[in-house]
């Protein structure tokens, strides 16, 4: 098991990538701290892990609130004594997102608060926890839209994921000699509740899939496997990287510099 003996804090475990990752990290031997603002869904995730034979605890957190994130890491260390992995995965893609002309300020502010401030606070309070453990790994969920333009307009979401990618690179450089690795996971279009609620018509879905060489949506479990790699000793010489798990989408559209 690649994560045996480790403690992983994963945000956004109420559904999607976070839920799949909680199960996969635990299957790989990690004790998992499930963190989500939705208490019922978060408790359910932890119970699923335990029912599968894994070790998990649930802590309700608002990733946009500094005190709440402080409490998350304090609770993780109180429960397990250390934190070895921080997976800043919580995020939103709001139905009200759109192009730069039509998107409203409330949508912009909420998207940036969760997707950018939430990741930044996870790093702000996660790094000291990793230092106390003698090093570790941070994985931040970005997106393919941090590298290419989306076929359906979602400017607030795209801006937020570009920020996550830039933040990841800087933190990787700053903390490299502390034994703290920081990498980004950039999923392609996934068959998750988050994306399917945005791509709510067959036309919207096909406009996205036409750009994916593999011709299908990815699955949350596929992202969980990639996150395990980035968190594990198998990636011991990987930091500041953007791992695109996107069915070949960016390979088809990104021109090497």
Q: In the chain, pLDDT over 90 holds for what percent of residues? A: 86
User: 3.30.830.10, 3.30.70.260, 3.40.50.720, 3.30.110.40: which CATH number matches 7-253?
Assistant: 3.40.50.720
Q: Out of 5-9, 30-34, 164-168, 211-215, pick the least confident.
A: 211-215
User: What is the C-alpha to C-alpha distance for residues 186 and 195, in angstroms, rounded to an integer?
Assistant: 14
Query: Nearest to residue 31, comparing CAs of 98, 94, 85, 112?
Result: 85
The H-or-E segment that residue 165 falls in is helix 155-175
Res 256: pLDDT: 67
Burial class (CB in 10 A: 0-12, 13-18, 19+), 202: exposed
Annotated active-site residue 157? The verdict is yes
Q: Check 80, 157, 237, 253 and give the catalytic one.
A: 157
Q: Decide if 26 contacts 68 (C-beta within 8 A).
A: no
Instruction: Specify the pTM.
Output: 0.95
Q: pLDDT by residue (tens digit) across 159-175?
A: 999 999 999 999 999 99
- Is the pLDDT at 257 greater than 70? The verdict is no
Q: Are 236 and 200 in contact, with CB atoms under 8 Å apart?
A: no
Domains of the chain, by residue range, sit at: 7-253
CB within 8 A of 30, min separation 6: which ones? 3, 4, 6, 7, 8, 55, 84, 85, 231
């Amino acid at each position: 098991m690649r994560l045996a003996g480790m403690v992983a804090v994963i945000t956004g475990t109420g559904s999607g990538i976070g839920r799949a990752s909680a199960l996969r990290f635990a299957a790989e031997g990690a004790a998992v701290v499930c963190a989500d603002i939705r208490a019922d869904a978060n408790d359910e995730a932890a119970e699923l892990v335990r029912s599968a034979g894994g070790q998990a605890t649930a802590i309700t957190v608002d990733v946009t609130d500094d005190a709440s994130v402080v409490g998350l890491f304090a609770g993780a260390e109180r429960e397990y004594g250390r934190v070895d992995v921080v997976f800043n995965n919580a995020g939103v893609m709001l139905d009200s997102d759109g192009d730069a002309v039509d998107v409203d300020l409330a949508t912009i502010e909420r998207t940036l608060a969760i997707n950018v401030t939430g990741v930044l606070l996870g790093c702000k309070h996660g790094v000291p926890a990793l230092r106390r453990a003698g090093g570790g790994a941070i994985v931040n969920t970005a997106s393919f839209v941090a590298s290419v333009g989306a076929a359906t307009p979602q400017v607030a979401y795209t801006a937020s994921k570009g920020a996550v990618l830039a933040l990841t690179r800087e933190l990787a450089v700053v903390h490299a000699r502390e034994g703290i690795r920081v990498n980004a996971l950039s999923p392609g279009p996934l068959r998750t509740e988050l994306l399917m609620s945005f791509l709510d018509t067959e036309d919207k879905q096909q406009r996205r899939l036409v750009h994916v060489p593999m011709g299908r949506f990815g699955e949350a479990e596929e992202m969980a496997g990639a996150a395990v790699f980035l968190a594990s000793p198998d990636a011991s010489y990987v930091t500041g990287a953007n791992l695109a798990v996107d069915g070949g989408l960016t390979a088809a559209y990104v021109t090497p510099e």
